[in-house]
A and B are shown apart, each in its own frame.
Chain A
Amino acid sequence: MSSSASRTRSSQRLKMTRLRRCAFASLITIAILIVMVAPVPAAEVWLDVSKSGDKKIVLALPPLAAVEGAEETTLRQTLENDLAVTGYFRLLPLAGPPLAQAEKERGATQTDHAAWAAFGAELLLRVDVARQAGRLVLRATLFDVGARAQLLSREESDAPAEAPRLAHRLSDAVVRALTGGPGLALTRIAATWSDGTSPKRVVIMDYDGRNQRPLSADGILALYPAWFPDGTRVAYVTYRQGRPEIVAQNVTTGQVRSLAFFPGLNASPAISPDGRLMLLVLSRDGNPEVYRMAVDGSELKRLTFTPAVETSPVWSPDGAQIALVSDQGGGPQIHLLGANGGRMRRVSFMGNYATSPDWSPRGDRIIFTAQIENTFQLVLLDPATGDQQQLTFDAEHKENPAFAPNGRHVVYSQGRGSAYRLVIIDTVTGERTRVTREKGSFTSPAWSP
């Protein structure tokens, strides 16, 4: 080879190597970058709640115990209600599958998956309740009938009087085993209650209406409960000092602490998702306006500046935005506002009176109540697109909606005149369940975290 030819060839080889190396390095970089920005697939769950439509899973729930006393009946009824309210399941009628009966008679210990599948069951929840040493002992197994796989196995005991809580904990365990997320069965609802003669006061109850007890003091008007995000306290408006004051009360100890008692109105408390700030409505500047404040009373900042009424502020779950009511257009409508203030943007366009917004903990929707043909109905709004969808159509007023922590269920106050009750609606299926069991009128519900 001539020296120049060899030089050319070696320099060509050098060029090729460099080019290859460069291309290789680029491809590796791109690959790494693609992996970094690609969406991470969610952990595998049996039921993906973000995709669930209203198609229900068939869940077979055979009889719980050989002998059904009062507590066993309570346990079963509570469990059935808890599972039904989730909206995920269609429960196979309890009296039927004679399969359970046949298995019992045979003394069979193995589950005949094929037989249950033939009945249409997709899931089988086997629960045995027995009495031991004065306690109820609950053993439960959840089977995926089609895959013949056990999804959950659980045993616990409690005093017979705690039968509902045994059921609640089992229902939540089933929901967690299937969806990976928490259930509703141990959540609570705060609301205002009056028997018609006494002033409204704040009460707390289990989400199914059990264990209702008063929180605020007897005989003193108290309104608008709002939970703290850690579930330990409820903020509300009280007239204990003769005019509206915002306080926070510990739901366990009962201790009350004043949060806001400025001259004029103090109303509509809403605690931020991180628990550090609150929104409130004050009239200290001569007009009801929305303010933001740290819960310890520092950092008071006025957020609205119109001559109109602004009220009912609520936080977005990321704490960056606020939904509120303003009547600057003549009648009250829902508006959005940045958490630091600025220009309000109207988002409700159904009827001429829209109030009581609440923001889903999932961030994707806002619910409010709007007067449509003289009846207050619930409306769902997508804050990103502005799309609105009427959720209810029947004759009674539906007011003060509040989302559950799962962002799917909503509790609200339904009625006419002076008789209101609390109802839960599943926003996916539209099904409703009555909550309140006691007499009187219930309004202003708030769902615990």
Chain B
Amino acid sequence: MKRGSRMVFTILMVPTVGALLLGCPKKITKTEATPQPKVSESVGVTRPKAGPTTDDSSATKQQAGKQTDEQRTAQLLASRGEDIPIKESPTIEFVDPSSEDKAVLKPIYFEYNKSNIRPEYQPVLENISKWLVKKVGSQLLIEGHCDERGTDEYNLALGERRALAVRRYLIALGVSSDRVHTISYGEEKPAVSGSDEAAWSKNRRAEFKVSAQ
């Protein structure tokens, strides 16, 4: 083409091509591909006071070495407030504790919407860890519960966090991670009926069941 006609062509084509390229606005927002790094200090986690490590007397002699390593790792994670993975689900049956055991296995209560272990319940958990040393072969099921307020789906996850907080605390005290298990019932199994703080405070809890003997 001659220069003049080339200029005309360009003048006409450039805005057209530009309009095409800028044409359709993208609705999908791009997000970063890399996951956030784990944070070692989690919200609302109380670290247990440094206590004596307890031997896991439920381990057989052959497996003693392996379990001690895993147990040490779990304890380290627990004391740093980090998540401790759940490796296996329990296949055993759990029952209500006997009245004698109930004196030790008392419920732990929580503040509204919180899952941190309150200072007044730390002695209870310390007693429970000592009880587990004595009761060779026993396992614990920690049930996490919420009061009726809030939405049921969030409460199921919050109940799970409460049970996991108790589990983490016990592991940091030296309890083997394969002796403590968790389950959440959210707001589905209140201990006390009622729609006031007296009832609600009794429902925001972690309760214990023991392995059937």
Contact = CB atoms under 8 A, between A and B. Distances in A.
A341 interface: yes
A267 interface: yes
B8 interface: yes
Interface residues of A, number: 75
Contact of B148 (A261, A310, A417): A417
Nearest to B39: A307
A413 B87 CA distance: 37
A384 B42 CA distance: 31
Contact of B1 (A18, A336, A342): A18
Interface in A300-331: 302, 305-312, 318, 320-321, 325, 327-328, 330-331
A309 B85 contact: no
B36 A343 contact: yes
A280 to B, nearest CB: 12
Interface stretch (B16-24, B55-63, B103-111, B128-136): B16-24
A22 B5 contact: yes
Given A19-B4, A199-B188, A223-B188, A328 B83 contact: no
Given A305-B38, A418-B148, A23 B12 contact: yes
Contacts of B153: 223-224, 267-268, 311-312, 325, 355-356, 400, 444
A284 interface: yes
A221 B43 contact: no
Interface string A89-103: 000000000000000
A283 B30 contact: no
Contact of B16 (A33, A223, A267, A443): A33
B98 interface: no
Contacts, number: 188
A265 B157 contact: yes
Interface stretch (A122-130, A136-144, A178-186, A285-293): A285-293
A19 B2 contact: yes
B161 A284 contact: no
A68 B192 CA distance: 52
Contact of B23 (A22, A37, A312): A37
B121 interface: no
Nearest to B37: A305
B34 A342 contact: yes
A323 to B, nearest CB: 12
A355 B154 contact: yes
A253 B65 CA distance: 51
A224 B155 CA distance: 12
Interface stretch (A24-32, A51-59, A155-163, A169-177): A24-32
B154 A332 contact: yes
Most chain B Cβ neighbours within 10 Å, of A263, A264, A267, A338: A264
Given A267-B157, A311-B157, A343-B32, A285 B83 contact: yes
Contacts of A22: 1, 5-6, 8-9
A353 interface: yes
A9 B168 CA distance: 96
A341 B8 CA distance: 49
Contact of B32 (A243, A286, A342, A444): A342
Given A342-B35, A384-B27, A264 B160 contact: yes
B117 interface: no
A12 B28 CA distance: 53
Contact of A343 (B31, B86, B89, B154): B31
A32 B114 CA distance: 62
Nearest to B33: A342
12 contacts: A244-B183, A244-B184, A264-B86, A283-B164, A284-B85, A287-B161, A308-B43, A336-B29, A355-B154, A356-B154, A399-B151, A417-B148
